Structure 1
Amino acid sequence: MDPRGGNYERQARHFAPRAVMDGVALTETQEQLARAVLEAVLLAGLPPYNIEAAADGEETGVALVPEGRRALRLVWQQDPAAARHLPVGLCDAQQAAMNQALRTILFAHRFWIADGPLGEAPLVLGLTRHDGGRA
């Protein structure tokens, strides 16, 4: 199966376990959330992190970090080779911008996101917002 071919739902299902940092196993609730989040990320044109490709040095993409038993933090993994050539402040600014972009994408797709600073990696609490629409 070509994970980059086919529909976004199939791609999200393929990448969900592979997009987790350090290969940590997801709970059933996190797996469902991971598939939905990755589908939104793919629709936005962003690549998911792939632990298998990371082993070959291709680490760029949206990674998932499980928090608790139900939530997922989305972290943008910058290209490490490119990041080595940039000043630290520029890397930090790019990371904050991508975190804000992820927060905006998730908000537009109506995910329930924990309040936090704009440049912080978003913590996704659920599939739909419960707070009347505030990010």
Structure 2
Amino acid sequence: MDPRGGNHEQQARYFAGLAVPDGAALTEAQEELARAVLGVVLLVGLPPYSLEAAADGEETGVGLAPVPGRPHALRVLWRQDATATLYLPADLAHAQQAAMHQALRTILSAHQFWVEDGPVGEAPVVLGLTRPGAT
């Protein structure tokens, strides 16, 4: 599947299970949230992380991780190219990672997801499709 074209909803369903880097199982609520998050990720032109592509050496993309003890929450992670980060100074790789996490936080918030407040540059935690009280 091409993450840059086609039906975003269909592709989001396809990538939902593949976007969890360690292959952890998602709850039903997390699966629904994963499809919605990945739909937005695809809409804005970012590649989703894929376990299948990672097996072929393509590790870059937006990954998802269940939040321990929170069956309705997902952490949204930017996975930098592992090989490229080997050649970057550590502070530059960290700055890029933080910038991508902040961009994801901004994009998801703009699309009305309920994103937990957290430190700038930390991978955002998405709590729901909409923030309570949002119109």
Q: Percent identity?
A: 65
Matched, 1:37 2:12: no
Runs (4+) off by over 3 Å? 2-5
Instruction: Name the residue aligned to 1:89.
Output: 91
Per the TM alignment, residue 66 of structure 1 is displaced from its structure 2 partner at its CA by 0.5
Shift in alpha-carbon separation, 1:89–1:131, aligned structure 2, 3 A: farther
Bigger shift: 67-76 or 2-11?
A: 2-11
Matched, 1:54 2:54: yes
Q: For 2:80 and 2:100, how far apart are their aligned partners in 1?
A: 9
Picking from 111, 127, 130, the partner of 1:128 is 130
AA matched with 2:53 = A
Shift in alpha-carbon separation, 1:131–1:91, aligned structure 2, 3 A: farther
**What is the TM-score normalised by the length of structure 2?**
0.93
Consecutive unaligned residues of structure 2, counting only runs of 5 or more, are none
CA contact (8 A) 1:60 1:77 kept: yes
Consecutive unaligned residues of structure 1, counting only runs of 5 or more, are none
AA matched with 1:80 = A
